[in-house]
Amino acid sequence: DVQLLESGGVSVQPVGSLTLSCAASRFTASTGCMGWFRQAPGKAREGIAAIDSDHSASYADSVKGRFTIVKDNAKTSLDLQMNNLKPEHSAMYFCAVRLARSLGPRPLRTSDFGYWGQGTQVTVS
């Protein structure tokens, strides 16, 4: 099975920047999709950014222009570059894999991603 390990979550001050990383194994990044999701306490998990096998990216409206998703096929890794962070961005961030070349009409739908990491905590305060 695909295995995912996130890293980089820390406590940061508002307006700060942070990059999360995800290392994947048993997965060929050039043939699949990867994404970042987050879940705050008491809220549902939501998709924030995803990228397909051709490096075409999709973002939630709430993070457009602020977050950037980067996939390295050679390293089978996925980064999420986050800028101008706000307290409302505090959450557990998860990396996920979808075994399909394209993201489809709903690129951030949680149920379309079948493999998940354990998450990394980001706190902005």
Distance of CA 94 to the CA centre of its chain: 6
Between residues 75 and 61, the one the model is more confident about: 61
What is the rounded distance in angstroms from the CA atom of residue 90 to the CA atom of residue 86? 8
Give the pLDDT band of residue 69 (cuts 50, 70, 90). very high
The residue written with tokens 């994404």 in the block is: 35
- Closest of 109, 112, 111 to residue 99, by C-alpha: 112
The residue written with tokens 């570059």 in the block is: 81
Dihedral sign, Cα of residue 109, residue 112, residue 113, residue 118: positive
* Residue-level pLDDT at 30: 87
Tally of CB atoms within 10 A around 111: 6
Stretch 21-29: mean pLDDT: 93
